[in-house]
Amino acid sequence: MKKIVMCLLLACAATACKEDILEQYPKGSLSSGDLSNKTAAEALVVASYALLDGVYNGPIETIFNPASNWSYSDVRSDDAYKGGGGTGDLGELNSLELGIIAPDNSLIERKWRALYFAVARCNKALKSLNSVPDAGFPEKATRIAEVRVLRAHYYFELKRHFYTFPYLDESVVEGQEGKVANTLTSEQLWQKITDDLTAAALVLPPTQTDLGRVNKFVAYAYLAKVNLYQRKWAETITAADQVINSGQYRLQANLEALYSDPNVEHGGENIFAVETTVTDGSTTSGLLNWGDLLTSPPGPAYGGGDHFHRPSQNLVNAFKVDANGLPLLDTFNNSDLSPSATTVPVDPRLDHAIGRPGITWKDFRGEVYGNNWIREGATYGPYSKKKNIIYVNSPLRAAQGFPWALGALNFPLIKYSDLLLWKAEALIESGGNLEDARALINQIRTRAANTPPVLTLNGAAPAATYRIGTYPTAGWTQAYARKALRMERRLELCMEGHRFYDLVRYGDAAATLTTYAQQETPKRPFLSAFRFTANKNEYLPIPQNEIDRSGGVLTQNQFYR
């Protein structure tokens, strides 16, 4: 089923990494003289995929450096609290949550290093590919294009986290990487990322034999994302249409399955994902999403859990609806939805995404989610992340205990629903066809209305009062459409590592998060220490250790000087 990921462990072993990532490439059992052959080149390509999960120095490092970005995005936004065993549990993350962001934070350094290990693998793969003769290697151009998409992804992550960074490609002489400064402008860095994706899209085939390999439409989807971040609306629409018109992607009909069942993850909604696998469902683990290990609840379903990444009351409130099943765009946070409320009408996506007291948990029939599932409830409230956690009874779980809720459930990096909302946003912001934007948003809301609802434990009835409607044409102005689009992104994509970056893109991070902290602090007193400094906290600082190692080649980004 997942052919490419079965090769990742072998490929990773062939490219073991060295300490000073800006000083030289990772070294391993393959010497430079070994790389000019197809076998070595193919192994290095697969190794470039391997770091999509962020595992650059063993699973423990990745637990604190999740590919899902929950700790770098959701916890820094109004969607989630840090969670865990109290504010002192993983204090570096508590600092990020409160806006206390410093260049010596170890989580920031882990993010930087993981991404540069990945870039180094991509560049080593490209050097190898370029050195292999074309004869006898018909896949060569495709493999080069795959690696360019992967490199663009890793650099995109550096761009939205750190703003500036040294751009290293395969032309840099080995051993000279640490002499490359971060002097390119923001526009130049975006162009480098765009160039990789554009070139790859022209070469990649529409489909690949191996599941997990990027294809032409992954490149176009990423082009849409990169253009969206630059507010290039026409280019966003053009790239998104390449994917939409391909006919290869669609909305998954069952949201619970989309978030829980590895058997549907190649069904058309996940355009690009971190691929995972287990060997046979026993205690022997395969390639897992270690970055989300900490996020499962400690109740009986999974035999334990650390309960980080906890949904905020503000996010829960956002799922309340009016009589027509539409969001309360301006007033959703005027009152709190009671944790166990089942008669107040809510968007049905609430109970697919968030664990609430008294509500059934996926396919677990031992009991409903309750107080014994909740860690540090007095600090972080009663809710749990429910989305993108494997079914309790899935044969593709890694084990029935530790590592808790991990298994062969891919983590989506780009979903079709996300792409539809990018196009809708571009139409709205450009003053384009507002009716087309409304249709795209309603397509997603219709899917939510038609998906099987969460049921009571005995399966006899819906677990709560669910109501969702579509937006009418009347009153659909640009200003209203903008509000609706931004709320739809929050409801549809919550707890998937998008929210903070969206707020930064909108230019709303400072205002939204300051108001959020003021309103949330009476319920969560630890947020009284929250501060957001505009034109600073939108990005992370370059790690001080990396600046020190560079001997003055690297300079701090403009926000933290």
Q: pLDDT tens digits, residue range 56-73?
A: 888 877 888 899 999 999
Q: How far is residue 368's CA from residue 93's CA, in Å, rounded to a whole number?
A: 30
Instruction: Say if residue 397 is in the same domain as residue 524.
Output: no
> Which of 30-44, 175-189, 191-205, 359-373 has the weakest average pLDDT?
30-44
Q: Count the neighbouring beta carbons within 10 Å of the beta carbon of residue 206.
A: 10
Give a yes or no: residue 7 inside a domain. Answer: yes
* Average pLDDT estimate for 32-53: 90
Same domain, residue pair 208 and 295: no
Domain contains 326? yes
Same domain, 151 and 194: yes
Distance of CA 13 to the CA centre of its chain: 26
| Torsion, Cα of 86, 89, 95, 97 (10° steps) | -50
pLDDT tens across 249-265, in order?
999 999 999 999 999 99
Task: Give residues with Cβ within 8 angstroms of 475, minimum separation 6.
Answer: none
pTM equals 0.94
pLDDT at 59 (0 to 100): 82
Look at residue 27 and tell me whether its pLDDT is greater than 80.
Answer: no
Question: Are 170 and 200 contained in the same domain?
Answer: yes
The verdict on 134 and 274 lying in the same domain is: no
Is the domain of 474 the same as that of 553?
Answer: no
Write down the pLDDT at residue 20. Answer: 31
Domains contained in the chain, number: 2
Query: 472: burial class by Cβ within 10 Å (0-12, 13-18, 19+)?
Result: exposed
pLDDT at 187 > cutoff 80: yes
pLDDT tops 50 at residue 8: no
- Per-residue pLDDT of 305-356, as tens digits, reads 999 999 999 999 999 999 999 999 999 999 999 998 999 999 999 999 999 9
Q: Given this model, what pLDDT does residue 324 score?
A: 98
Which tokens hold the place of 455? 């049921």
Identify whether residues 523 and 480 lie together within a single domain: no
What is the model's pLDDT at position 107? Answer: 96
* Per-residue pLDDT at 33: 57
Whether residue 510 is contained in a domain is answered as: no
Q: Assess whether pLDDT exceeds 90 at residue 236.
A: yes
Burial 428-457 (b: 16+ CB within 10 A, else e): bbbebebeebbbbbbebbebbbebebbeee
Query: Which of 446, 468, 497 is where one domain is finished?
Result: 497
Q: Which residue has the tokens 């990742």?
A: 8
For the residues 4-11, what does the mean pLDDT come to? 41
Is 15 inside any structural domain?
A: yes
Q: Is the pLDDT of residue 189 over 70?
A: yes
Residues 6+ apart with CB under 8 A from 496: 68, 74, 387, 388, 412
What is residue 143's predicted lDDT score, i.e. its pLDDT?
98
**pLDDT over 90 percentage in the chain:** 89
- pLDDT tens readout for residues 395-453: 999 988 899 999 999 999 999 999 999 999 999 999 999 999 999 999 999 999 999 99
158 and 115: one domain?
A: yes
Residue 58 in domain:
yes
Any bridge partners for residue 346, and if so which? 320, 466
Structure confidence at residue 34 as a pLDDT band (50, 70, 90)? confident
**387, part of any domain:** yes
Taking only the tens place, the pLDDT of each residue in 450-490 is 999 999 999 999 999 999 999 999 999 999 999 999 999 99
* Residue 271 and residue 209 in one domain: no
Domain boundary among 441, 470, 497: 497
Task: Classify residue 223 as left (phi > 0), alpha (psi -120 to 50) or beta.
Answer: alpha
- From CA 123, how far away is CA 418, in angstroms rounded? 29
* Inter-helix orientation angle 499-506/478-493, to 10°: 160
Question: Whole domain around residue 309: which residue ranges?
Answer: 249-497
- pLDDT digit string (tens) for 64-117? 889 999 999 999 999 999 999 999 999 999 999 999 999 999 999 999 999 999
Task: Write the Ramachandran bin of 268: left for phi over 0, alpha for psi from -120 to 50, otherwise beta.
Answer: left
pLDDT at 14: 38
Task: Say how far apart CA 55 and CA 86 lie, in whole Å.
Answer: 26
Domain boundary among 447, 468, 497: 497
Q: For position 390, which CATH number holds?
A: 1.25.40.390
Q: Say how far apart CA 287 and CA 198 lie, in whole Å.
A: 30
Q: Does 78 share its domain with 163?
A: yes
pLDDT of residue 32: 53
* Of 492, 494, 300, nearest in space to 405 by CA: 300
> 329 with 467, same domain?
yes
Mean pLDDT of the chain: 93
- Asked if residue 507 is part of any domain, the answer here is no
Whether residues 335 and 468 share a domain: the answer is yes
Torsion sign over Cα 478, 480, 483, 484: negative
State the angle between helix axes of 416-429 and 233-244 in degrees (0 to 180), rounded to the nearest 10: 150
- Provide the percentage of residues in the chain whose pLDDT is more than 70: 93
Tell me what pLDDT residue 60 has: 79
pLDDT given at position 167:
98
Q: In the prediction, which pLDDT does 247 show?
A: 97
In a domain, 505, yes or no: no
Tell me the three state secondary structure of residue 461: coil
Q: How far is CA 122 from CA 148, 149, 210, 422, in A?
A: 8, 10, 19, 28
pLDDT at 417: 98
4 falls in which pLDDT band (50, 70, 90)? low
pLDDT of residue 502: 98
